[in-house]
Amino acid sequence: MGDHGYGGRESLANIAYGLGLKQVGKDVTIWSLAKIVYPECICIGDSVIIDDFVFLSGRAKTFIGSFNHIASFVSITGGGEFIMEDFAGISSGTRVFTGNDDYLGGCMTGPTVPYPYRIPIRSFVRIGRHVVVGANSVILPGVTLGEGAVIGANSLVTKDCDPWTVCFGTPARAHKSRPKGTILDLESRLRREMYDADGQYIPRQGKTGSDGDENQR
């Protein structure tokens, strides 16, 4: 998916702690060229990177867990609920729609048309733990990506994807399973290292290659 990492640019360009987010954890980086709308509706966990040129509209309930990455040129729009659980990633150019217009003739369409002539449908998208969404994919409203699912690049996701499956195509379909044992074992080891006895995240302060102080200003 690519990322900027935790280099020295953080102190100049990280806007995560000045946006007025509803909740934001530690070691969160939101690069300055990302566009965040309705930040007061958005909750973000620990150790998250949101790249430049991401467009994220909160509006309804929006939750981004811990150890997540949203890559450049991703858009998350539609006015519905967006849930992204821990250890998930959305690759560059992906479009996530949490709501849409009624295109079947029930009303007019387009954001310039006022209510009641246009009645948009607000829905949700839910992305489970350890999900990977490949570049330039499209996820339509009402979809849940089960834990560990992988979405291949350039896929159109119109319905739920089962946990620990590899799905791709237009529309996306499951083609094979994804082994989960190693991933879940590594998660368990990481949690023992990165969380204290009370389950609280340990910031990257003092660790090689990090500048946790800047991330928490």
Taking the domains of the chain in order of start, what are their residue ranges? 10-215
| 3-state secondary structure (DSSP) of residue 184 | helix
Q: Provide, rounded to the nearest whole percent, the portion of the chain with pLDDT above 70.
A: 89
The pLDDT of 202-213, averaged and rounded, is 58
Is a pLDDT exceeding 90 seen at residue 181?
Answer: yes
- Work out the number of other CB atoms within 10 angstroms of the CB of residue 199: 7
Q: CA-CA distance, 175 to 177, in Å (whole number)?
A: 7
pLDDT in tens, 58-67: 989 999 999 9
The pLDDT of 181-199, averaged and rounded, is 96
Q: Indicate the pLDDT class of residue 204, thresholds 50, 70 and 90.
A: confident
Q: CA-CA distance, 123 to 83, in Å (whole number)?
A: 12
Average per-residue pLDDT for the chain = 91
Cis peptide before 116 (omega within 30 of 0): yes
**CATH of 10-215 among 2.160.10.10, 3.40.470.10, 3.50.50.60, 1.10.10.10:** 2.160.10.10
Is a pLDDT exceeding 70 seen at residue 99?
Answer: yes
Q: CA-CA distance, 156 to 204, in Å (whole number)?
A: 37
The pLDDT of 162-176, averaged and rounded, is 98
Q: What is the CA radius of gyration of the chain?
A: 18
Please calculate the CA angle 58-64-65 and round it to the nearest 5 degrees.
Answer: 165
| 3-state secondary structure (DSSP) of residue 93 | coil
Q: Contact, 122 vs 103, CB < 8 A?
A: no
Give the pLDDT confidence score for residue 205 in this predicted structure: 76
pLDDT in tens, 2-37: 554 444 554 468 999 999 999 999 999 999 999 999
Which residue has better confidence, 40 or 2? 40
Cβ neighbours for 84, distance < 8 A, ≥ 6 positions apart: 63, 64, 65, 68, 70, 90, 127
| Reduced DSSP (H G I as helix, E B as strand, rest coil) percent helix, strand, coil of the chain, to 5 | 15, 30, 55
Q: CA-CA distance, 181 to 185, in Å (whole number)?
A: 6
Give the pLDDT confidence score for residue 129 in this predicted structure: 98
Give the pLDDT confidence score for residue 10 in this predicted structure: 47
Element (H, E) at 183: helix 181-194
| 3-state secondary structure (DSSP) of residue 130 | coil
